Amino acid sequence: MLTKTIIIPNEMSQLDVIANTLELLADEWNLMMEETMKLNLVLEEVVTNIINYGYPDKAVHTIEIRFILDGRLFTMQTIDDAIGFNPLLQDEPDITQSIEDRKIGGLGIHFMRTIMDHLEYKRADGKNILTLSKKLSGN
């Protein structure tokens, strides 16, 4: 099993750090670029929502991101002390509507559900723990 953990502040500039980390892991762990791009899209949506909606105090907080590769199962886990929010309880957005008619939000949750194979959320010790797993194709 391979693991990598990064801890970032709740700042939008850190999305580049996440993308760079995933790119390095793709090289190191022999991940396909197309899958890596999809994983980055999901993680970017998750972290963007944590940063934009999770911290009403606007203080500096940290977000821990764990990457785990166990065989061909790739897992990303975010751990943060933002306000409690279970994205798995949110309704699926209506993507059949035009962009003008569609309610704002929900696409990140849609990406999580369609790209990832397993989603799990729990709140423990004042922290959100979101675990996202995907079975990767072989190389």
Tell me the CA distances in angstroms from 119 to 31, 129, 139, one per residue in order.
20, 11, 24
Residue 131 — very low, low, confident or very high, per pLDDT cuts 50/70/90? very high
Alpha helices in 30-129 (DSSP H): 33-53, 107-115
Sequence ranges of the domains in the chain: 2-135
- With tokens 């989603």, the residue in question is 119
CATH class of the domain comprising 2-135: alpha beta
Residue pLDDT, tens place only, 72-125? 999 999 999 999 999 888 766 555 555 555 444 556 688 888 999 999 999 999
